[in-house]
Chain A
Amino acid sequence: MGFPKINIQGYLLRHLQVMLFSLGQLWRQPLSSLMTIIVIGIALALPAGLYVLLHNVEQVSDQWDDATQISLFLQQDVSQDQALALNKKLNTWPNIASTHYQSSKQSLEEFRQLSGLGSLLDSLPSNPIPAIIIIHPNDKDLRQDAIGSLLSRLEVLPEVEQAQLDMEWLQRLRSINKTAQRGISILGLLLSLSVLLIIGNTIRLAILSRQSEIRVIKLVGGTNAFIRRPFLYTGFWYGLLGGLIGWATLLSSLSLLNGPINELAELYGSQFTLQWLSASLLLSLPSIGLLLGVSGAWLAVSRHLNDIEPQ
């Protein structure tokens, strides 16, 4: 069986013709088409841009994750020998990568240098600063709960006064991030919906302005599919071009941000550079636009086509 080859070619050719015809119609009303396309582009670029920024914040906080360390403040009455023995013992624990012992004297010196309060310290009768052991946990992406259990095991050691993990702010940042992510998802959803409605409404107006033409086509035997096709391709072009405009908006906004962000990173002595859109996101913006365009057009056409009948 199978279809004759020429028919399939003819079918594709007709689709191509309608596709170009729809593009030509947009071209014939450049101003109104452009405005619609830009609105769609901005509506798509906004959530995508926020997503990129959020993605970058996540990268930064991931970098900080490597710097996770536990400061073990030792009891005042622990001797240096005891402390060194503890240091050695801790080094053998499986989930500790390395430890560093710093005597109370060294700590005092460090504090003196960094704080500039040397003369005040001299006036104290004894050294108030305890010896510390700085611990780097083993697993780089050590989970929160694992870190927590390590922390509680360290805290109960008799030599230890206090074990401190400076992670709380990181956790807060993470949950702020999570909140922002959800917010951006909701925003993206709402803006996608508005793109759908914008395209739907634009197509609806196009249908209404061509009512008499649709009637004539129905009278000479045009099927609904035939009448639907140019409108679907109009939606296709709106979506695709809107997606490309959104993409361009996003790239130019990010390149505007790139300079200041690099400066900022340099000031903080950080290696951070703005992560650009991943290839998949670059592709997804026009494809999401295209999908929204065709579905918006489909909604409008299926809603209005049956109302227009020859009289």
Chain B
Amino acid sequence: MGGHRRRSVKARILSCVVLALFIVAMAGCSGSSETLILATTTSVHDSGLLEELLPDFEEKENATVQVLAVGTGQALAIGERGDADIILVHAKAREEAFVADGFGKERFDLMYNSFVILGPASDPAGIGGTGSASEAFTRLTAELPDAGSSFVSRGDESGTHSRELSMWEAAGIDPAGDWYRSTGQGMGSTLTVANEFQAYTISDIGTYLSRQEQLDLQVLSGDDPLLFNPYGVIPINPDRHPDVNYDLATKLVEWLTSFETQERISEFGVAEFGQSLFTADSEEWRASNP
């Protein structure tokens, strides 16, 4: 008699739990609004620009943009596999190869900013004030082994890392030794490591400005065309991957390169940091601002 009551109570509790889980699961499945997968770099994501801009696009198109923030290398690989609908990276040469190989339909200019060479305020290698990036890198190689500081590289084949490597190449140096550290991680982690070691590193200006308060590192580089950092957006080629949402990707490109959005891009960061993180550079923007 007692056994029966116990069994039915157990059964009731169990079916309540299952029902609850089912309801939660159903609630998780949202309505059928379109989804667009955007693969971009960690530096773009960490700047907060997309969080600022995308909600308006999502509302306008009744869509959801899922942002995959990975290194440039992985973003390009994801684009090649068709695991994203559109990519936004900053590695122009690799982007152009991407389009030439047929993975992307076309590359669109979006915006640009600068890389910066960061280092401790004490600047033991004495690179502050050297306008040229190559000269700075030559000094780093010469001074760092004895200067008690080091250089921290991202070492992850990202856009920033590619740029760092080309700068070593321009200075004719193959960096190696205890003074050259490689984290294999994103900009945020690499900045943390560089800060802890009070070491030199390269960063995009956006990530640096957003982390500036927590870091004891200064911008030591000047203007140098080698530090120019252009961003491009590329919809994935539907001929290559028929499942991609090419129409929505195209709409996103149109929206991002439109005058209104470009204006917002050029204002992004001014309120918080006193300078904009990106300079607008789409074709449409350039046409209106000769």
Is the A/B pair a real complex? no
A positions within 8 Å CB-CB of B: none
B residues bordering A, Cβ < 8 Å? none
